[in-house]
Structure 1
């Protein structure tokens, strides 16, 4: 294979990633010879000031990615809300494919796309964030001859994404955010003769097609999905099946993708919502029973008064127990998140 230059950098980040991205943008030189794509998790319908933040952070121009735009070296392209940021033929593609681990845009979708379309020319970068988005996509980049660069978990505000990325791939490029820019500049300027790699797997092609065209998972790979997981999709409550040879990654028929860690987090949120609804119902039941208790007292209906009093007391006691559980759970999670 002839020498190639690594002229596409794809960067994924989530919680705590803005600070790391600013440090990265500040240390890229004005003549940086690669295009930079950035995906940060954004809420659907959210407006992002990240292009302006990164444009001011360093010498490279930063802009919101536009569908069909040519990839130009020395430019930072930021994913738009509610759109995956993909590549095709040296251009930007912004499809509205299914969410991945509850996110659109998602780092995994961007990384897979770059791995398929650009192969050894890609450098994948994982920065601060919770959970594991980006880990599987970074694996795809390395498998296709690209390079992996990961923020040192000790330097990240949230170590989840860097830690999970390093569990998925081995790389010598584990650096503080402030040192990643210089490393990328050196890597992008060094021509390489990448070793031969196996063709992309059918599973990788299928997942990219789902993100790119929003097609039905079963339509892409009829009869080839993994076994039923016994879990349901938090987005649409459909059955989840394992994806290819990845027993800890799932998709529903519509195409929504979940890692095991992200699915567990979504189930925690559903559980907390259910408990919150139950608490509200108990509070309302106690309040209504107290009102009926007072009315029965005023009318001299002793038996009804006693019944409503008992009902109010039972609901109030249950609400107290549930409220204490919710408070203790939130406190424990907060302590775990900030623990070094």
Structure 2
């Protein structure tokens, strides 16, 4: 059975608004496909992205609505705090577990496109840090779809493009401004989907089945066995993280929060820094309190007690100096090696 390769799914993060504006500006008014977009957003408030993209190109742009039919010549953006998925021709919005700390998440959209459209899907990774979108893009390619990435030199943040290039064989690598005409050609191609890629259940059901031990719906593919505890804790719920592959590069906890190794490392680095700042505050307070108590002991004629608190003050002062120097000098940013290259 043949159908047009008419679904384009796009993921972007840091620097993504600029890249999305360039991509949308290059799409023609007679674009024969549909475009679904995930840009990492904070959970609260409304997104201005549809209005920004409407001013950037000729196609209508709206925030996706649950149950809406996907139309050609239309761009749909993920609303804040909801995963955007596609089930054949229908949009699904879910409030499922975060992935890499994000909801909406790029990989969630990409996996649903791969499973529901197979070869009829094209995935595009734009500017962003770390490796969001790489796993989903791998699945799109495995299902016969196309994969594209923004030229890293063209991206404001090249982490996502670089990581995708390292793991996925790309069909096109272009500046964002040049992607529109290329996508306009691809969406008119006919591909054989042979009836194996369409699933009636959405991706989130398979994800929850894989982490709860339940049978996957319809015997759905791509459900991994969660059987190897990693010894790591989920930053979102503190539950055990299970390894999703033999390389220990992807993790998911029992309730469904998902992390790549890079994103997990960055989140742990943030938590360590927060803990160190809290420790610095506590040490400074102890130092100041020891100073007051030594003065009080001196005034009351207890020199031995005063000396003990002065030693405490000196110890805390030294610890404060060491910790403050460590925090202000900082560590190598997550995702960068000592040479400054993306890991």
TM-score w.r.t. structure 1 length? 0.89
Q: Distance in 2 between matches of 1:17 and 1:194?
A: 32
Determine helix, strand or coil for the equivalent of 1:132.
Answer: coil
Correspondence 1:49 to 2:75: no
Q: Which moved more, 1:222-231 or 1:277-286?
A: 222-231
Q: Distance in 2 between matches of 1:334 and 1:113?
A: 29
Determine helix, strand or coil for the equivalent of 1:231.
Answer: strand
User: What is the aligned partner in structure 1 of residue 212 from structure 2?
Assistant: 218
Q: Distance in 1 between matches of 2:334 and 2:225?
A: 41
User: What is the aligned partner in structure 1 of residue 190 from structure 2?
Assistant: 192
Q: CA deviation at 1:135?
A: 0.5
Correspondence 1:242 to 2:238: no
Determine helix, strand or coil for the equivalent of 2:66.
Answer: coil
Q: Which sections of structure 1, spanning at least 5 residues, go unmatched?
A: none
User: What is the aligned partner in structure 1 of residue 205 from structure 2?
Assistant: 209
Determine helix, strand or coil for the equivalent of 1:262.
Answer: helix
Q: Distance in 2 between matches of 1:325 and 1:14?
A: 30
TM-score w.r.t. structure 2 length? 0.88
CA contact (8 A) 2:210 2:226 kept: no
Aligned residue pairs, count:
331
User: What is the aligned partner in structure 2 of residue 135 from structure 1?
Assistant: 134
User: What is the aligned partner in structure 1 of residue 264 from structure 2?
Assistant: 263
Q: Distance in 1 between matches of 2:86 and 2:193?
A: 23
User: What is the aligned partner in structure 1 of residue 333 from structure 2?
Assistant: 333
Q: Which moved more, 1:217-226 or 1:20-29?
A: 217-226
User: What is the aligned partner in structure 1 of residue 219 from structure 2?
Assistant: none
Q: Distance in 2 between matches of 1:34 and 1:229?
A: 41
Q: Relative to 1, partners in 2 of residues 1:216 and 1:45: Cα closer, same or farther, differing over 3 Å?
A: farther
- Measured against aligned partners, the alpha-carbon deviations of 1:293-329 in whole angstroms (never above 9, x if no partner) come to 2222333332222222221221121011111111111
Q: CA deviation at 1:246?
A: 6.0
Q: Distance in 2 between matches of 1:166 and 1:77?
A: 26
User: What is the aligned partner in structure 2 of residue 117 from structure 1?
Assistant: 116
Q: Distance in 1 between matches of 2:294 and 2:226?
A: 58
Aligned residue runs from structure 1 range 144-183, under 5 A: 144-183=143-182
Q: Which sections of structure 2, spanning at least 5 residues, go unmatched?
A: 217-223
Q: Relative to 1, partners in 2 of residues 1:121 and 1:63: Cα closer, same or farther, differing over 3 Å?
A: same
Determine helix, strand or coil for the equivalent of 1:80.
Answer: coil
Q: CA deviation at 1:278?
A: 0.8
CA contact (8 A) 1:285 1:312 kept: yes
Q: CA deviation at 1:64?
A: 1.1
